Structure 1
Amino acid sequence: MKKLISLLVVWLFVGLAIAPNALASQGNDVIDERNGKPKLVLGEALSEAQKDEVRDMLDATDPNQVEEYTVTAQDLVNYIGGDPNSSMYSSAKITRKNEGHGLVVNIVNAENITEVTNDMYANALLTAGIENAEVEVASPLKVTGHSALTGIYKAFNVDGESLDQDRMEVANEELDVATNLAEEAGIDQEKVSQLLSEIKKEISNQNPATKEEVEQIVSDQLSQLNIELTPEQKEMLTNLFDKMRNLNIDFGQVADQLDGILSDIQGKLDEVTSEDVQGFWEKVKSFFTNLMDSIRGLFN
């Protein structure tokens, strides 16, 4: 009898250990009937082995749980008038979410996406008209990350829906401007995203009617964020947002999602500042430790 009770107790604990994992597994396999299956968009230039690697990275190995597409250089031409000779490597998985969820972007292996950040993608996607989705980006080799944007566009241009052509084009230009400012102007990537988000908020608040008013908003935000640009770079930024003004893009509709981007950026900036302060005091401590050791050495 004691052996039977002991055996039942063992099985009870085993069951308790297995049940949560089983439930979690079942939860991951549930298809959201309201928003459909996640869409996996793979870069055309990837080899079959690299595609398998991306599927693993993006947790999209079960063909019954995801809709798979390939993004091509022709898609780049169709959506944004891009170069038909472009190589498409970076890939993405897009999961639609209910209204109010917001836009969440996560680069799964950021070490391989060298120029574009989560917040740069998020800003450009909001400009293109994409909201309430979880977007995961990955690449099996080092790339700039620009082609993932076209792949995401493709995911939103199937099943009878389509994004506005002009908004897609200006969003792609925004991504180019963002990476240009980070690379050529030497501005921190988070600062670039913060600048773009703040300008959008002010455009929403002020509703500028002329290019000169847009230019003033750009100048004010550059001043507030202590960012210095050349006249050419400032003109590039002004032209970008004047195009958005002419397209009547209402950033007030996505104010909460812009706030989410800014909150994420601020957290990263605070983290960097905290690390800088800690590093400074570590250097001070190390200096005095070395100094004391040197003084002791003189007397030994």
Structure 2
Amino acid sequence: MKYMLKRMVILLVVIGFVTGITLPLQAADGATDTDSINEKLGSPIIVYGEKLTDEQKAQVRELAEVTDLESFVEYIVTGQDGAKYINGDPHANMYSSAKIVRQEEGNGLTINIVTPENITEVTSEMYANALLTAGVENATVDVVSPVKVSGHSALTGIYKAYDAEGVELDKERMELADEELGVATDLAEKEGMSQEKVSELLTEIKKQIAEQNPATKEDVEKIVKEQLDKLEISLSEADRQMLIDLFEKMRDLNIDFDKVKNQLEDLATTITDKAEELGLDAGFWEKVANFFSDFFSQLGNFFKGLFN
């Protein structure tokens, strides 16, 4: 009986896993309570996409667990903001929204996609990589959309919020972060790689840039090649060059990835763990299937025993 109960507990854990229980990008010890005002860092923020109806905004607040709206600062992100911050289309429709809670130094960057079914192209790791490039650190960010969207416009809202709160982010870095997000989604679509694999590649390249401090474009090209080989990724010549050009721009902007190296390492660990949990190991789903087969067989025998 005890053994059967143990197996049932294991079953619940597995069911929770395969149905999508998610963990934050980084556990944030001492993180700010999202319903309270941090008198040092400022109030929590919620940014709505301009095209949302009042009903959809209320839905965003509910999904993002905004229970005390009076403690939040609210902003609206527009197509004009996209043109201002990332050279986007000023007529673009904005739907994806974000809740932002700034954290103390050392808490890291935590990204939660609350509505993964409606953010169709961008993963939490992609957001994290782009935000670190733009200069956003030590924050908890919840991304929400009540309608299906790619997820790109949420970045603009985060940039606007930081700007409005007096936190200066470099425009060139913001534009480059948006370009990085575009490269990531392009690679996932064109090259048939998993989103986790793309994020792992970008993160590992940044880590090597932080460690090696490349002085020339040739050095950047070498780092890109080394990481492609290490991760056993084969790209077309055009996509390989796209990657080299992206990271060469980062080198030209003198982005100090060494400053956020710990967060990059945390991100790399999270991506690796997530890839393993998602069953990128070919034997994973076979193990799950065997587990369920074995469990239900024993469960059937258990109930038969009750009536015999």
Tell me whether the two structures share a fold, i.e. TM-score over 0.5.
yes
> CA 1:216–1:30 in 2, change beyond 3 Å: closer, same or farther?
same
How far did residue 60 of structure 1 move?
A: 2.2
How far did residue 203 of structure 1 move?
A: 0.8
How far did residue 29 of structure 1 move?
A: 4.3
Cα displacement string for residues 21-52 of structure 1 (whole angstroms, at most 9, x for unaligned residues): xxxxxx76432111111110000111111111
**Alignment partner for residue 101 of structure 2, among 85, 95, 112?**
95
Counterpart CA distance in 2 for 1:108 and 1:274 is 23
How far did residue 276 of structure 1 move?
A: 4.4
Q: How does 1:92-171 map to 2 (within 5 A)?
A: 92-171=98-177
In structure 1, the partner of 2:258 is 252
**Alignment partner for residue 192 of structure 1, among 180, 195, 198?**
198
> CA 1:42–1:48 in 2, change beyond 3 Å: closer, same or farther?
same
Counterpart CA distance in 2 for 1:279 and 1:44 is 42
**Alignment partner for residue 240 of structure 2, among 234, 242, 252?**
234
> CA 1:143–1:208 in 2, change beyond 3 Å: closer, same or farther?
same
Counterpart CA distance in 2 for 1:277 and 1:173 is 35
Counterpart CA distance in 1 for 2:138 and 2:290 is 47
Between 158-167 and 117-126, report the one with greater CA deviation: 158-167
Mark the runs of 5 or more structure 1 residues left unpaired by the alignment: 1-26, 290-300
How far did residue 159 of structure 1 move?
A: 2.8
In structure 2, the partner of 1:80 is 86
> CA 1:248–1:275 in 2, change beyond 3 Å: closer, same or farther?
closer
Question: Is residue 224 of structure 1 aligned with residue 230 of structure 2?
Answer: yes
Q: TM-score, normalising length from structure 1? A: 0.83
Identity %: 54
CA RMSD of aligned residues (A): 1.9
Counterpart CA distance in 1 for 2:92 and 2:36 is 37
**Alignment partner for residue 41 of structure 1, among 26, 31, 47?**
47
Cα displacement string for residues 54-103 of structure 1 (whole angstroms, at most 9, x for unaligned residues): 01111225331100000000000111111112111100011000011100
In structure 2, the partner of 1:14 is none
In structure 1, the partner of 2:20 is none
Question: Is residue 71 of structure 1 aligned with residue 77 of structure 2?
Answer: yes
How far did residue 273 of structure 1 move?
A: 3.3
How far did residue 283 of structure 1 move?
A: 6.4
In structure 2, the partner of 1:175 is 181
SS of 1:171 mapped into structure 2: helix
Counterpart CA distance in 1 for 2:147 and 2:34 is 28
How far did residue 161 of structure 1 move?
A: 2.8
Q: What amino acid sits opposite 1:177 in the alignment?
A: V
> CA 1:239–1:61 in 2, change beyond 3 Å: closer, same or farther?
same
Q: TM-score, normalising length from structure 2? A: 0.81
Partners of 2:43 and 2:73 within 8 A in 1: yes
Partners of 2:96 and 2:144 within 8 A in 1: yes
> Aligned residues, how many?
261
SS of 1:137 mapped into structure 2: strand
> CA 1:122–1:283 in 2, change beyond 3 Å: closer, same or farther?
closer
Mark the runs of 5 or more structure 2 residues left unpaired by the alignment: 1-32, 298-308
SS of 2:100 mapped into structure 1: strand
Between 53-62 and 214-223, report the one with greater CA deviation: 53-62
Question: Is residue 52 of structure 1 aligned with residue 58 of structure 2?
Answer: yes
Counterpart CA distance in 1 for 2:34 and 2:217 is 49
How far did residue 266 of structure 1 move?
A: 1.0
SS of 1:157 mapped into structure 2: helix
